[in-house]
Structure 1
Amino acid sequence: MIATALRERRSETIRQALAEQGLVNAGHIHLDYSTPELVEQVIQRKEGRLAVGGAVVVGTGIYTGRSANDKYIVEEPSSREQVAWGKTNRPFSPENYERLRRRVMAFLQERDLFIQECRAGADPRFQQRVRVITQWAWQAMFARNLFIHPRTFNEMIQEPDYTVIVVPGFKAHPQEDGTRSEVFIIFHPGRREILIGGTGYAGEIKKSIFTVMNYLMPQRGVLPMHCSANIGVDNDCAIFFGLSGTGKTTLSTDPERRMIGDDEHGWSDQGIFNFEGGCYAKVINLSAHAEPEIWGCTRRFGTVLENVVMDPVSRRVDLYDSQFTENTRAAYPLTSLTNIQANSMGEHPKHVILLAADAFGVLPPVAQLSNEQAMYHFLSGYTAKLAGTEVGLTT
């Protein structure tokens, strides 16, 4: 009863804060629901179905990968000199952002909201408080799986450093809103806010926080890295660089080494640390023999399976069926794995491995590089992109 009363009190505080920010009449606020509570909501709202073993199977609609060409950063005083503007970091005007944001807030009036208070960054010196606000229970479950949980009640009630507002049911009007399409992922550094709309692909939530950390960490002397990492019995750290689908998650789950993380890390003056608290593994053609740890998570209660094919009667999933997309995914917390580094931190890496999905036979299977060669290939980023990880990528 005490926990319920505290949650209701916090929900009202957040409701008032949302009203001050433009959302004056939110529906019911589902605040920091536990995984079982969120599973119940997913089923009740018919957002997904339970598979054998207890994983939740959901579909993301027509968008089954990241919409890389629909990401923007608002160009305003605090960001103007901190961002390398160009094809990757597309500028978005403050005026268009405010206009779009008002329409998003109008769309959310009287709608139920799922809110998770999360953290990004395992190193307490650099950790960011993140509030994720979503329309859908399963996306709140995704955020709960992927990010770090506050450890104490006092941490839980702290105001967020950044807020992510996710409205997959809202579609932008390009001519009116200044976007390229109906999809938008917009980071406003001054507001400390991210708007995501027009797409149900939850990977946008994860990557939006990586964008925030990419923006913040270099200003604090930390190198943000798209890599996986693990640690051996002698505390020797290894990091694995590579684009989505090149094997980072698989290699980081070596049974003889403890996983630090599978995708996003920072490298500080004291070593490396995970930005996240979970894994977002690609599971197409996954086998129990080759990758038992990840395969086991696809059969575990609390895992979110995106666009995975499931028999509607037996409720068994088929990881070899790509009828929806090649980019089938499983989102689960690190605690679902049996061999992890508890604090998600490690010393300076002794092994740096660059992964490439080389479909053209240009590279040898394994090559030992000099420092100069390693720097060259890291900057070159050679790889053959895999189908499905980004919208429109088929070969």
Structure 2
Amino acid sequence: MVVEAVRQPSTLDFETGFLTPTEKALSFLGVPDPKEVYFQLSPAELIEAALLNGEGHLTDTGALMCATGTYTGRSPKDRYVVLDDSTQNEVDWGTVNIPFDETAFDRLQRKMRNFVGYHPVYIRYALAGADPRYQLKLCILTTSAWQNLFCSNMFLRPTEDEIADFKPDFTILALPDFNADPAEDGTRGTNFSILNMSKRTILIGGTGYAGEIKKGVFSALNFLLPRQNVLPMHCSANVGASGDVALFFGLSGTGKTTLSADPERGLIGDDEHGWSERGIFNFEGGCYAKVVDLTRECEPQIYDAIRYGAIVENTRFVPNTHMVDYADTSITENTRTSYPINFIDNAVNPSTGGHPQNIFFLTCDAFGVLPPIARLTPEQAMDYFLLGYTAKVAGTEMGVTEPQTTFSACFGAAFMPRPAREYAQMLGEKIREHGANVWLINTGWTGGPYGVGQRMKLAYTRAMIRAALKGAFDTIAFTDHPVFGLAMPTTCPDVPAHLLDPRQTWTDGDAYDAKAQDLNERFQAKREKLTATTLTV
């Protein structure tokens, strides 16, 4: 089926005197009549349009393979928040939340709107937030069909009745081919992502990395929801047959998507959630998983979700086939797939759950000295939440080609506009109120640091999490780590006992002690910067 454009010769339907749905969407976006408009296309129509436009190719499983161009990951140094009366005293300004001038934003928005007038555009209504009380209605304009499909996959999809009466809370312009002029527009480079909370608008340009769209919406929710006593969280979530909910906090590459996709538990969501007085709700309608070295044996749910309607980004084919070579990282380590959450067989609908019984902090320890699992006290939970220690995994951000130690408060500082202590205070209060168990999980290295040791086997990490969820550690002995003071279990079903104590996995105990002390000193230095933060646990 050939997708035909809907042209916009006027602003009114002269037979009824009312704006058509497409014209209403254009008015919300404030754009002049574009060359062609494609409104609320189905996934099948968007896939066909992307193929006709030369935006991608179909894989042997029917997924759409696309390339994001120069930018294959987020660009944190090019993310801005407009500084105005609504944000001046509430945003934690600095190198993460970079202030942007109101006047410069208005000028850049006008330029982008004019740019749209010369290009075909794809417009979509979408929803963010599975709890209707806290839901954001989105009107998204993209200039590529595949990015519109990404939005269809990643956000909740409104019904026809909801579309007929749609009034967006936020508008988004995502124009990969629009490059800013730094000297004129006030940006650092030609690419940018700018959040304007007063005008409820997100501008994205100069980058084809679709993850900027979802993270822009996440940042908006992270700013707004605390005002309603809802804790926004960079975590995945799943639920057991008895209704027990588990959260998995962690930066990209630490295993949130992988570990929450458990065939024994229902998937609530893989990346972004809110915690209200009723429980947990997903912000999204899809999953965005890394696929480097993906195999069906290790991650069957994700592997099987890559079918018609899904997208794979920055991957390559096995030569002379349409089979995806998931080991090929010639473009980037940050190869990904996007698919609707219902592509996971055991996803729950709606994507909500009760209050969590278990919370897992995932860290990818490049030093190889943290235990693979440790039980945290409430005080330690707040400490590690504020530290947000992990390693930046290769490819997740531009310029990162091998793991680097980093501290990212709340396990997602790049998306948190407010001061970290506000989110940490809310988490501490909810842990105390609902009695959640908190665990530190090291999905990083064992037997030595990066380059010497090896990554913890996924099967062992799954076994440790399964044991925590089933209460298997309730009756076994724990021992305290001599440097970090973390409570380590001495046994775990289906895991070799020596792996539970990281020192035993090193051939040189003295080298381990030195490396552990090195990391602890880094922790202490970071804590000194947080001494002004006062938490009630």
TM interval, shorter chain, is over 0.9
Match of 1:344 in 2: 351
Correspondence for 1:132 among 119, 140, 154: 140
- Unpaired stretches in structure 2, ≥5 consecutive residues: 1-5, 7-12, 403-537
Match of 1:332 in 2: 339
Give the distance between the partners of 1:285 and 1:243, measured in 2 at CA.
19
Give the distance between the partners of 1:12 and 1:343, measured in 2 at CA.
31
- After TM superposition, give the deviation of residue 13 of structure 1 in Å: 2.8
Contact conserved, 1:96 with 1:177, CA < 8 A, in 2?
A: yes
Higher relative contact order (CA 8 A, sep 6+): 1
Match of 1:84 in 2: 92
User: Which string of whole-angstrom CA distances, capped at 9 and with x for unpartnered residues, describes residues 7-32 of structure 1?
Assistant: x93113333444xx2x2231221111
Larger mean CA deviation between 235-244 and 72-81 belongs to 72-81
Aligned partner of residue 294 in structure 1, secondary structure = helix
Query: Which amino acid in 1 is paired with 2:106?
Result: E
TM-score (norm 2): 0.70
- Correspondences of 1:382-393 after superposition (within 5 Å): 382-393=389-400
Match of 2:364 in 1: 357
Give the distance between the partners of 1:14 and 1:182, measured in 2 at CA.
27
Aligned partner of residue 383 in structure 1, secondary structure = strand
Contact conserved, 1:10 with 1:157, CA < 8 A, in 2?
A: no
Give the distance between the partners of 1:269 and 1:50, measured in 2 at CA.
44
Give the distance between the partners of 2:319 and 2:199, measured in 1 at CA.
44
Contact conserved, 2:28 with 2:171, CA < 8 A, in 1?
A: no
Instruction: Please tell me whether residue 120 in structure 1 is matched to residue 122 in structure 2.
Output: no
- After TM superposition, give the deviation of residue 62 of structure 1 in Å: 1.1
Query: Which amino acid in 2 is paired with 1:368?
Result: R
Instruction: Please tell me whether residue 319 in structure 1 is matched to residue 326 in structure 2.
Output: yes
Query: Which amino acid in 2 is paired with 1:304?
Result: I
Give the distance between the partners of 1:388 and 1:381, measured in 2 at CA.
19
Give the distance between the partners of 1:354 and 1:153, measured in 2 at CA.
40
Instruction: Please tell me whether residue 146 in structure 1 is matched to residue 154 in structure 2.
Output: yes
Match of 1:274 in 2: 282
Match of 1:15 in 2: 26
Instruction: Please tell me whether residue 377 in structure 1 is matched to residue 388 in structure 2.
Output: no
Give the distance between the partners of 2:349 and 2:162, measured in 1 at CA.
22
Give the distance between the partners of 1:15 and 1:27, measured in 2 at CA.
12
Give the distance between the partners of 1:97 and 1:11, measured in 2 at CA.
26
Query: Which amino acid in 1 is paired with 2:396?
Result: T
Larger mean CA deviation between 236-245 and 373-382 belongs to 373-382
- After TM superposition, give the deviation of residue 340 of structure 1 in Å: 1.1
Query: Which amino acid in 2 is paired with 1:178?
Result: G
Query: Which amino acid in 2 is paired with 1:32?
Result: Q
Contact conserved, 1:117 with 1:156, CA < 8 A, in 2?
A: no
Query: Which amino acid in 1 is paired with 2:385?
Result: F
Contact conserved, 1:29 with 1:115, CA < 8 A, in 2?
A: yes
Correspondence for 1:188 among 163, 173, 196: 196
Correspondence for 2:83 among 60, 66, 75: 75
Give the distance between the partners of 1:10 and 1:241, measured in 2 at CA.
39
- After TM superposition, give the deviation of residue 155 of structure 1 in Å: 4.3
Aligned partner of residue 378 in structure 1, secondary structure = helix
Give the distance between the partners of 2:212 and 2:392, measured in 1 at CA.
18
Runs of 4+ aligned structure 1 residues displaced above 2 Å come to: 12-18, 154-157
- After TM superposition, give the deviation of residue 151 of structure 1 in Å: 2.5
Instruction: Please tell me whether residue 286 in structure 1 is matched to residue 294 in structure 2.
Output: yes
